[in-house]
Amino acid sequence: MITTDILIIGAGPTGLFAVFEAGLLKLKCHIIDALPQPGGQLAELYPKKPIFDIPGYPSVMAGELVDNLMEQIKQFQPGFTLNERAETIDKLEDGTFIVTTNKGTKHHAKAVAIAGGLGSFEPRKPLIENIADYEEKGVEYFVKKPEIFEGKRVVIAGGGDSALDWSIFLSNVASEVTLVHRRNEFRGALDSVEKVQELKKLGKINLITPAEVKAIKGEEKVESLVIEREGEEMIVETDYFIPLFGLTPKLGPIADWGLEIEKNAIKVNNALDYQTNIEGVYAIGDVNTYPGKLKLILCGFHEATLMCQSVYNRLNPGKKYVLKYTTVSGVNGFDGTRKEAEKQVVKAIE
């Protein structure tokens, strides 16, 4: 059993920054995410796009912002349960919670902060009748461990950044990479499209467009694909089929936790602390809703900060909390009390 003060569901920017704010208050955090890496939408959907509305950064790549958030929270040593979806929640008599994942990992926490964004991302699957029979038998919707493709034949389908980037990356790992897209034009970044064309010329990527994978064949695992191009069918032998058609967000199991939901988002008390209708369970970032809600990273950061203050007050009844500046207290030398804050201010003035 993993134990923590605040269990954060979702390792997007909101969940990651919550670890920092909790750390300032000496609260331990553990994060669960259904994806194999932290960063939420920034890592999964647009790591190479610049963001222009993060205070103090005229421009920052989404992937770089995630790296910086990870660096900022490292000092507080959060725990991570990645690649697992938070499935059920049980409130114990003492007001603490047990959250269990789809893989059975149990987490015991004094408070739960749902920072689930648009929900847990599920891969958008192609409409191929028997595709489910080949899942984990050659059909992969994510490239979690690129090394498994070493020396193997791989067919990637899709026209966005993921399909292009992984085709480029795997052209140095797999023995054969084929990229199939239903149009001649790609939606991804121009430099990635140019790189794919260059690798095609060098014979390192086979490009089949405009075409679609219509069927999967194989006894025990994927052995070949039926690909249709302009009305003609061809068979391509392969070890792996990786359809990268994006992700569909789903609130998923959280929708059944007894929370008040409005338009696929969790209603919270925004006048106070972003707590839900279940005491001790908060919802922050894109996952919540309240009058005037804006789904922006900056708003998630603000909500995470107030949530942490509320948890601190809940767990330390009667202890007077004094707001501190990190410029005065640093990140470690403060226990939240007035006496300690005064000591820090005197030190800073000296």
State yes or no: residue 41 binds ligand FAD (CB under 6 A).
yes
Q: Could you tell me the smallest distance in angstroms from the CB atom of residue 213 to ligand FAD?
A: 26
Interface characters, 49-68, with ligand FAD (x: CB under 6 A): --x-x---------------
Q: Which residue has the tokens 């993060």?
A: 54
Residue 256 near ligand FAD by CB under 6 A: no
**CA 169 – CA 173 distance, rounded (Å):** 7
Q: Which long-range contacts does 323-328 make (Cβ < 8 Å, 24+ apart)?
A: 324/24, 326/24
Cα angle 144-295-269, degrees, rounded to a multiple of 5: 115
Nearer to ligand FAD, 85 or 324 (CB): 85
Residue 254 in contact with ligand FAD, rule: CB under 6 A: yes
Which residue in 8, 42, 60, 156 binds ligand FAD (CB under 6 A)?
42
Distance between CA atoms of residues 172 and 61, nearest Å: 25
3-state helix, strand, coil in the chain (%, to 5): 30, 30, 40
Residue 210, preceding peptide bond in cis (omega within 30° of 0): yes
Minimum CB–partner distance for residue 269 and ligand FAD (Å)? 17
The residue among 108 and 221 lying less far from ligand FAD, judged by its C-beta, is: 108
344 assigned to a ligand binding site:
no
- As a whole number of angstroms, the distance between CA 306 and CA 152 comes to 50
88 is in an annotated binding site: no
Residue 88 has a CB neighbour count (10 Å cut-off) of: 14
Which one of 5, 15, 239, 308 is in contact with ligand FAD (CB under 6 A)? 15
Judged by CB under 6 A, the residue of 4, 7, 13, 164 near ligand FAD is 13
The site for ligand FAD (CB under 6 A) is made up of 9-15, 32-35, 40-42, 45-46, 51, 53, 85-86, 115-121, 252-254, 285-286, 295-298, 300
